[in-house]
Amino acid sequence: MPIAITREVSPAVNECELTNLERQPIDYERACGQHKQYVAALRSLGLEVQILPADPHLPDSVFVEDTALVLDECAIITRPGADSRRPEVDSIVKVLTPYRKLFHIQAPARVDGGDILRAGKSIYVGLSTRSDTSAVGQMQEYLRPYGYEVKGATVTGCLHLKSAVTQVSKDTLLINPEWVDRQLFKGMKFIEIDPSEPYAANAVLIGETIIYPSSFPGTQKRLEAAGIRMVIVDADELAKAEGAVTCCSLIFN
């Protein structure tokens, strides 16, 4: 059974790091309720969900995706771009150790998991305010023996690569072409977001179904027209912390 690692929302979430958004009050109880809905969606798609306890000292720790890249052959423990987030990796190391051989991104390189998009044997790393070319080089060294190619992808206008593009089927990406160049992703098909919904490119692909936020009805219609199956969840509260649906889980077999 596939596994999803999640973490409950920190009661300190209002102290989260912000880069591209203005700070707005986050309703903690509402955020927790939406996170429970997200966990239920994961379970409805056949995943075994492991829920780590909230950490009151780590405001962004609900966004577990940023701490690791988990592949079939191994896992890479990241070195998050924000100093305040680096302690988040410690608990994830303990969780992943029984499942995978672990590699660690070494200082001074920086990379958030939200900047890492895998499509088959190609791994794209967003070159953003949180991730750099040094991390790309280290990842390539770790993953070359397993047949992966790691490529940098310049990101503009958003926090992470997966704010701009995510996979919605085996050969199709959902993309905001204003934030990342589609020419980087050779051999892939594309669905463009509704231009009025710039943050709509983030979806979690599980099997042949995506988990998708309810906040983007225009893009949802485009996905439906393309035959993409969806489980819709509310995720607008954690979006105030620059979080999205991919951010809240680490999924692997």
Pairing state of beta strands 165-169 and 172-175? antiparallel
Per the omega criterion (within 30 degrees of 0), is the bond before 108 cis?
Answer: yes
CB-facing half-sphere around the CA of 221: CA atoms within 13 A: 5
- The 10 Å Cβ neighbour count of residue 196 is 10
Instruction: Specify whether 247 is catalytic.
Output: yes
C-alpha 136/C-alpha 140 separation (Å) is 6
Distance of CA 17 to the CA centre of its chain: 16
**Residue the block writes with tokens 């790691």:** 150
Catalytic residue among 16, 32, 35, 160: 160
Instruction: Specify whether 160 is catalytic.
Output: yes
Catalytic residue among 16, 32, 247, 248: 247
Which residues are annotated as catalytic? 160, 247
